[in-house]
């Protein structure tokens, strides 16, 4: 039955004459594109459905199963180490009386930060009408959710008795006690849980119409049932799209300040304390910039791999990579500025404790970590001033990993240097992680990749509905005037070029 339907649809599509008009920019050589096209290969709307749904519909390759198995093994090792920690206690970590936050909080901040690029791409770039985001927003949002899950792993186990973690929530209890809203740690509970919930709703809302596309094409009973349930019975009704589009905009409007608030509040965990090196007003913007910086690097790492394996070259183009590299360069400079400003203020404040912490940071026991951070985060992105390097896939891939390493070291440097030499020299100490902490951290990468591989295989990895809506000729031509974004794409449309306005523009 379904087969028959598909054939019918296919013939219907072929029969329609303006399949060609949708990619009609070859028909009108007089209209030169102002900008590079967002999707290469002059695709029709139907081809986009075929390409993207095809990824989810093709049989999983041995390569996929091998990658999934490897990821699950790594995740399994992490879960093993996590179980050991919970069973024995966090004494199995390398923490000591002086250094109470080590890899646990470093990794928490690292993973939460990774998530920020996803929200930035899906929400902030949406509000700024950056249409290039459509090729990458779905997977970046998915990455956000998986990263926040990993962050939760650390923040929930570092409490020491994770089975009592519900004590973090304000609920009426027999002890007649309530949580302390004056603590930034409590703000963090609200910030991270809100962030996770809103990111999940935003992601799911975006998925619903695309799941409906998969549902209408699904052949196996299991796939059909799964896509049917989760697409909620979406039909593509304009009466629904109308509300849907508004909801999407509200979600983008909510997520934009939310993403800024989450890492600001994470930075309050440090800034509200009175420890030299932590107690600084620069922390919120500095943390947010760092989060976006590391998140974009992670998006690039994942997308470059997905682009190769799933053959998405026409959708994730060099233009996308170029744009993301520019954001990495810009946020890398902000982070570099923050590093410099911290040193300047330490000197300018005249506070001897503050000054000591920063001299110690660059020359003390953890200087190796500090210089690792500096070279990865400040020096290496400078290569991206070069347009050729920004468009070099292998170079970008390498540098995205370097940036992630650097951003991990940033969090480690901040946490360990301030703690290990505090106000009392008699308490000074050094911290090295144990195999348990290392295994948990490596394990979270396994978990992350497991989730990402499953997502890439079974869900539409590119936002179908959104990418279709930005194709040349996909929108009525009278609508060009209120579009200030990627004009070039509209001018490529067959309809538009035929119109009188095109003459004006040309």
Question: Hey, which residues between 8 and 67 contact other proteins (CB under 8 A)?
Answer: 8-9, 12-13, 15-16, 18-19, 21-22, 44-46, 49
Residue 208 in contact with other proteins, rule: CB under 8 A: yes
Token couple for 436: 């348990």
Q: What crossing angle do the helices spanning 103-119 and 435-458 adopt, rounded to 10°?
A: 20
Instruction: Identify whether the C-beta of residue 118 lies closer than 8 Å to the C-beta of residue 299.
Output: yes
Q: Does 129 bind other proteins (CB under 8 A)?
A: no
Locate 64 and state its tokens: 């996929």
Residue 283 as a binder of other proteins (CB under 8 A): the answer is no
The binder of other proteins chosen from 39, 468, 472, 490 (CB under 8 A): 468
Q: Does 197 bind other proteins (CB under 8 A)?
A: yes
Interface pick for other proteins out of 66, 236, 308, 363 (rule CB under 8 A): 236
Tell me: does residue 416 bind other proteins (CB under 8 A).
no
Can residue 207 be called a binding residue for other proteins (CB under 8 A)? no
SS (H, E, C) 303-346: HHHHHHHCCCCCCCCHHHHHHHHHHHHHHHHHHHHHHHHHHHHH
Nearer to other proteins, 251 or 293 (CB): 251
Measured CA to CA, the distance from residue 162 to residue 317 in angstroms comes to: 44
Would you count residue 451 as binding other proteins (CB under 8 A)? no
Q: Pick the stretch among 149-157, 315-323, 448-456, 467-475 that binds other proteins (CB under 8 A).
A: 467-475
Closer CB to other proteins, 65 or 128, in the complex: 128
For the CB of residue 409, give the shortest distance to other proteins in the complex, in Å: 28
Three-state SS annotation for 29-83: CCCCCCCCCCCCCCCCHHHHHHHHHHHHHCCCCHHHHHHHHHHHHHHHHHHHHHH
Give the CA-trace dihedral at 190, 193, 195, 196, to 10 degrees.
Answer: 180
Which residues, numbered 240-279, are part of the site for other proteins (CB under 8 A)?
240-247, 250-251, 254, 257-258, 261, 265, 268
174 binds other proteins (CB under 8 A): no
Shortest gap between Cβ of 18 and other proteins (angstroms)?
Answer: 5
Separation between Cα atoms, residue 268 and residue 432, nearest integer Å: 25
DSSP type of residue 492: T
Residue 466 found at the interface with other proteins (CB under 8 A): yes
- Contact positions with other proteins (CB under 8 A) in 87-116: none
343-to-271, 329, 336, 340 alpha-carbon distances in Å: 16, 21, 11, 5
Using the rule CB under 8 A, which residue among 71, 137, 213, 294 binds other proteins?
213
Residue among 75, 212, 218, 407 that touches other proteins (CB under 8 A): 212
Question: How far is the C-alpha of 310 from the C-alpha of 462, rounded, in Å?
Answer: 11
Q: Site for other proteins (CB under 8 A): which residue of 138, 158, 390, 495?
A: 495
Figure out which of the listed residues 71, 473, 486, 491 binds other proteins, where binding follows CB under 8 A: 473
Q: Is 215 in the site for other proteins (CB under 8 A)?
A: yes
Residue pair 298/279 in contact (Cβ under 8 Å)? The answer is no
Min dist. Cβ of residue 129 to other proteins (A) = 13
The tokens 């591989």 sit on which residue? 453
Give the range of 94-102, 276-284, 412-420, 465-473 binding other proteins by CB under 8 A.
465-473
**Between 41 and 89, CB nearer to other proteins:** 41
- Least Å distance, CB 282 to other proteins, is 18
Report the nearest approach of other proteins to the CB of residue 190 (Å).
Answer: 4
CB 199 within 8 A of CB 146: no
CA 188 vs CA 123, 264, 265, 439: distances in Å: 21, 10, 6, 25
Nearer Cβ to other proteins (15/62): 15
């Amino acid at each position: 039955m379904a087969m028959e339907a598909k054939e019918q649809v296919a013939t219907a599509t072929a029969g329609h004459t303006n399949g060609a008009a949708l990619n009609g920019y070859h028909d009108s050589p007089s209209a030169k594109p102002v900008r590079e096209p967002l999707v290469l290969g002059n695709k029709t709307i139907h081809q986009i459905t075929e390409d993207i749904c095809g990824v989810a519909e093709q049989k999983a390759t041995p390569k996929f199963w091998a990658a999934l198995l490897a990821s699950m093994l790594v995740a399994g090792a992490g879960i093993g180490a996590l179980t050991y920690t919970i069973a024995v206690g966090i004494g199995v970590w390398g923490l000591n009386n002086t250094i109470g936050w080590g890899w646990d909080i470093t990794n928490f901040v690292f993973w939460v930060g990774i998530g920020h690029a996803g929200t930035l791409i899906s929400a902030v770039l949406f509000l700024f009408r950056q249409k290039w985001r459509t090729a990458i927003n779905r997977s970046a949002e998915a990455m956000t959710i998986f990263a926040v899950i990993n962050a939760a792993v650390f923040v929930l186990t570092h409490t020491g008795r994770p089975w009592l973690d519900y004590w973090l929530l304000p609920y009426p209890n027999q002890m007649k006690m309530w949580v302390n809203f004056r603590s930034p740690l409590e703000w963090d509970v609200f910030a991270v849980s809100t962030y996770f919930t809103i990111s999940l709703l935003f992601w799911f809302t975006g998925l619903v119409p695309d799941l409906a596309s998969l549902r209408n094409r699904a052949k196996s009973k299991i796939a059909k049932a799964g896509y049917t349930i989760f697409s909620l019975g979406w039909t593509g009704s304009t009466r629904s799209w109308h509300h849907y589009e508004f909801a999407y905009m509200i979600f983008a409007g909510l997520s934009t300040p939310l993403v800024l608030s989450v890492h600001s509040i994470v930075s309050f965990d440090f800034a509200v304390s009175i420890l030299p090196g932590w107690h600084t007003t620069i922390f919120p913007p500095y943390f947010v910039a760092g989060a976006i910086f590391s998140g974009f690097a992670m998006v690039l790492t994942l997308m470059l791999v997905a682009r190769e394996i799933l053959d998405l070259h026409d959708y994730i183009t060099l233009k996308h990579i170029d744009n993301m590299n520019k954001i990495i360069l810009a946020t890398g400079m902000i982070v570099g500025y923050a590093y410099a400003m911290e040193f300047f203020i330490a000197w300018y404040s005249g506070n001897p404790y503050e000054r000591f912490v920063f001299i110690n940071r660059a020359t003390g026991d953890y200087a190796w970590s500090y210089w690792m951070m500096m070279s990865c985060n400040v020096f290496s992105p400078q290569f991206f001033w070069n347009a050729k390097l920004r468009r070099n896939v292998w170079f970008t891939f390498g540098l995205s990993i370097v940036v992630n390493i650097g951003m991990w070291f940033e969090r480690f440097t901040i946490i360990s240097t301030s703690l290990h030499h505090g106000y009392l020299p008699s308490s000074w100490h050094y911290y090295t992680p144990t195999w348990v902490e290392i295994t948990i951290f490596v394990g979270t990468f396994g978990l992350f990749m497991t989730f990402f591989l499953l997502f890439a295989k079974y869900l539409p990895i590119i936002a179908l509905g959104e990418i279709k809506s930005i194709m040349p000729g996909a929108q009525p031509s009278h609508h060009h005037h209120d579009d200030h974004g990627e004009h070039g794409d509209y001018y490529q449309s067959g309809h538009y070029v035929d119109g009188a306005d095109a003459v004006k523009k040309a």
